[in-house]
Amino acid sequence: MSLSIRNQLPGIVTAVTAGEAMATVTVRLDGGQDVTAAITREAVRDLGLAEGSAVRTLVKSTEVSLATGSVDGLSIRNRLRGTVREITTGGAMASVRIATEGGELTSAITREAVAELGLEPGSSVVALIKATEVSLAVD
């Protein structure tokens, strides 16, 4: 199956906390960072997820926000530090490729945001991804 989701980061499930309808799944990415996904309990069962399961985290590039430093006071759990590798701008939007430890992310943000943040190749950034925007897949 082919997916249009560019951000696919491999990792291992380190924790599954299930409620009645939803579950949180913590994944240790190959680069050593932790990512939390909030998915349905049914998805955990259907995918057979448990501690030690190999998974790919899937995040659409439009769900990856960027910051140029530490951001306090946000409920966003997933914060991955990286470096801007490449920026492709169009009339309204930009695609920003970010190198992280053990992987790469793409963020689709507005062209204005690129200018306001002063992003350029080599800039240090923090990718911000809400747990509800992280899907999981097994091979």
60-82 tens-digit pLDDT:
999 999 999 988 999 998 999 99
Q: Which amino acid is at 10?
A: P
Instruction: Return the SS3 of 22.
Output: strand
**Number of continuous H segments (helices) and E segments (strands) in the chain:** 2, 10
**Is pLDDT at 100 greater than 80 in this prediction?**
yes
Could you give the CA distance from residue 84 to residue 8 in angstroms, rounded to a whole number?
Answer: 17
Band (pLDDT 50/70/90 cuts) for residue 102 is confident
Six token digits for residue 44: 């955990």
- Residues near 28 by beta carbon (within 8 Å), at least 6 away in sequence: 11, 12, 14, 34
| Residue of 130 and 139 predicted with greater confidence | 130
**Is pLDDT at 112 greater than 90 in this prediction?**
yes
Write out the DSSP string of 50-114: -TT-EEEEEE-GGG-EEESS---S----EEEEEEEEEEEE-SSEEEEEEEETTEEEEEEEEHHHH
Please tell me the pTM assigned to this model: 0.91
Band (pLDDT 50/70/90 cuts) for residue 30 is very high
Rounded to the nearest integer, the mean pLDDT of the chain is 95
Band (pLDDT 50/70/90 cuts) for residue 1 is low
- The 10 Å Cβ neighbour count of residue 127 is 23
**Is pLDDT at 2 greater than 90 in this prediction?**
no
